[in-house]
Amino acid sequence: MKMYTLYYSPGSCSLVVHALLEELGVPFEVKRVDLVAKEHLADEYRKLNPKGKVPALVTPEGVLTECVAILMYLCDKHDPHGKWLAKPGTWQRAKTIEQIATLATEVHPLFNRFFHQDDFADAKDVQDAVKSRGTQKLLAYFRGEDAALAGPHWSGGTLTVADLYFMVIARWGRRLEPSAIRMKNIEPWFMRITERPAVKRAMEREGVKPFGT
């Protein structure tokens, strides 16, 4: 048995964890959870993660959920030089956590309005309004990120775990009109990060393509 087992759904937020596991080079295996078949809501999966969501990471210490917690745990265990997440007590670490927390708690929920508007209301016209407002907010967000992206890395001076997170979030934005990953500065950045061998391995294992489904 490998040290870690990642429960994932292709292209979902679990891809951030998958890419990091590859980047860190730690032994892991993956188990696909079919969200369309509602495997995440079945008793068997809920025994592992009662929230019925991916990612869930089985570790030697127990099951860990929530992208932010998993990313921090893996970096603290396997990133001795603080490349992906700087060491405790540093300003750089605080700023990287600020970025991943924003993606998890502000931007990901906007995508819920875009992809899952039926979660917000029964009435179709209300659902349409939820999606429409979510779309506007996402476009404003990505336009802002595109304008701000000046250097080689989205997260700042060095490549961090926040870049992996934004890569997955930006990829969801390919469904917007205009596509987030075709924006002037995001596109070349996105092409570079998805060319990383570790990121490619994670995407190939999940059967997803950077610009495709």
- Of 52-60, 125-133, 177-185, 188-196, the window that binds ligand GSH (rule: CB under 6 A) is 52-60
Residues from 58 through 117 that contact ligand GSH (CB under 6 A)? 66-67, 104
Strand pairing category for 4-8 and 62-65 = unpaired
Minimum distance of ligand GSH from residue 184's CB (angstroms)? 27
Minimum distance of ligand GSH from residue 3's CB (angstroms)? 20
Count of chain residues binding ligand GSH (CB under 6 A): 11
Question: For residues 104 and 193, which CB has a smaller minimum distance to ligand GSH in the complex?
Answer: 104
Minimum distance of ligand GSH from residue 183's CB (angstroms)? 22
Question: For residues 109 and 151, which CB has a smaller minimum distance to ligand GSH in the complex?
Answer: 109
Q: How many CB atoms lie within 10 A of CB 166?
A: 27
Report the C-alpha gap between 135 and 164 in whole angstroms: 22
Q: Which of 35, 48, 97, 139 binds ligand GSH (CB under 6 A)?
A: 35
Site for ligand GSH, rule CB under 6 A = 9, 12-13, 35, 40, 53-55, 66-67, 104
